[in-house]
Amino acid sequence: MARDDVVTEKVRDSPLPKAPNQADQAHRQKKGHPLWSFPHLTLDETARNFPALFQNPPMAQETSLLLLKPDCVAQGLNGEVLKRLEAEGFRVRGIKMIQLTDEILKDHYSHIADKPFFPEVAGFMKSKPVIAVALGGENVISHVRDLLGPTDSKAAPKGTIRGDFGSDKMTNVVHASDSPEAAAIELKRFFKDGEIFSY
DSSP 5: H
The rounded distance, in Å, linking the Cα atoms of 70 and 170 is: 10
Q: Is 162 annotated as a binding residue?
A: yes
The rounded distance, in Å, linking the Cα atoms of 6 and 103 is: 50
Reduce the DSSP state of residue 91 to 3 states and report it: strand
Q: Is 28 annotated as a binding residue?
A: no
Q: Which of 40, 111, 143, 175 is catalytic?
A: 175
Question: What H or E segment, with its residue span, contains residue 180?
Answer: helix 180-190
Q: Does the active-site annotation cover 27? A: no
Q: Which stretches within 19-165 are classed as H helix?
A: 25-28, 43-49, 70-74, 78-87, 102-108, 118-126, 140-148, 161-165
The rounded distance, in Å, linking the Cα atoms of 137 and 147 is: 14
Q: Is 42 annotated as a binding residue?
A: no
Q: Is 117 annotated as a binding residue?
A: yes
Q: Is 118 annotated as a binding residue?
A: no
The rounded distance, in Å, linking the Cα atoms of 99 and 38 is: 64
Q: Is 145 annotated as a binding residue?
A: yes
Q: Position 50: which residue type?
A: F
Which residues does the annotation mark as catalytic? 175
- Name the binding residues: 69, 117, 145, 151, 162, 172
- Name the binding residues for ATP: 69, 117, 145, 151, 162, 172
